[in-house]
Structure 1
Amino acid sequence: MEYKIKSKIWIEVDGNVFLGDGRVKLLKSINTTKSLSKSAKELGISYKKAWILIESVNNNAIEPVVIKSVGGVSGGGTKLTPYGVKMIAVFETINVNSWKHLDKQVLKFL
């Protein structure tokens, strides 16, 4: 038998969610598609929900995570800032380290 402790990690700022699994998936998709609309579709969420999530991330960050540009001749787009890319890496590192720690803790009960 294999025992595992399962846990979800998210980061809050003043009681508001800053980053969690869903927001990080959205950020990673935006980094690939360069489009909030395409990312929302890819993740099966409404554009409005994706917009609200991104606004929340940006509002709770110390600097912009995502920059949106309005359409025009060449079309609009959405891209991650270098800080946004860093936040994805930080969140994923926290997750991996947390799971490793929890895996070690469960062994104490066997």
Structure 2
Amino acid sequence: MIFQLQEKAMTDTANIRIRGRIWLTAAGKNMLGRGRVELLEKIGATGSISQAARAMKMSYKAAWDAVDAMGNAFNSPLVNTSTGGKGGGGARLTPQALALIAAYRQLEQRHQDFLGQLEQEFSVALVTGEGTIQ
């Protein structure tokens, strides 16, 4: 496709951004993405699915369903819960959840680095008029 940019756009490529997000999927279903990782992090920080759900402005049921779906998808519980009572209940992340969060955050950083590289190459291609990204 051949296209021409307006003169201002040719000199203003610093404002061009490439955006993207990562989701892990299996059998066409979303298993893990930024929101679910954030939910796990909030559960770890608060020790409570309910408090994490409130912090994310979602219902307890939606949070519990997400935790359950992730555990099923990875064939391993990601959150250990204890029932309420005199001392109250609680939720703790499993070692698998902590490893999953760390791996996802590394993947996300590599993805952002890649997008930054693409932005630079795209900007150069626009400025030079070559239209080719290395």
> Fold match, TM over 0.5?
yes
d(CA) in 2 for partners of 1:51 and 1:13?
20
2:96 alignment partner AA? Y
CA RMSD of aligned residues (A): 1.2
1:12-61 deviations in whole A, cap 9, x for unaligned?
A: 12222221111011100000100001111111111111111111111101
Residues 29 and 39 in structure 1, CA contact (< 8 A), matched pair in contact too: yes
Identity between Structure 1 and Structure 2 (%): 34
Partner of 1:66: 79
Residue 31 (structure 1) aligned to one of 10, 30, 44: 44
Please report the TM-score for the alignment, with normalisation by the length of structure 1: 0.92
Task: Find out whether 1:91 has 2:104 as its counterpart.
Answer: yes
d(CA) in 1 for partners of 2:75 and 2:110?
24
Task: Find out whether 1:101 has 2:114 as its counterpart.
Answer: yes
Please report the TM-score for the alignment, with normalisation by the length of structure 2: 0.76
Residues 40 and 46 in structure 1, CA contact (< 8 A), matched pair in contact too: yes
Q: Which stretch shifts more, 80-89 or 13-22?
A: 13-22
* Unmatched runs of 5 consecutive residues or more in structure 1: none
Partner of 1:56: 69
The structure 1 segments of at least 4 consecutive aligned residues displaced by more than 4 Å after TM superposition are: none
d(CA) in 1 for partners of 2:54 and 2:82?
19
d(CA) in 1 for partners of 2:88 and 2:120?
54
Q: Which stretch shifts more, 67-76 or 87-96?
A: 67-76
d(CA) in 1 for partners of 2:24 and 2:55?
24
Residue 5 (structure 1) shift: 1.0
Larger RCO of the pair (alpha carbons < 8 Å, separation 6+): 1
d(CA) in 2 for partners of 1:52 and 1:72?
23
> Which protein shows a greater Rg?
2
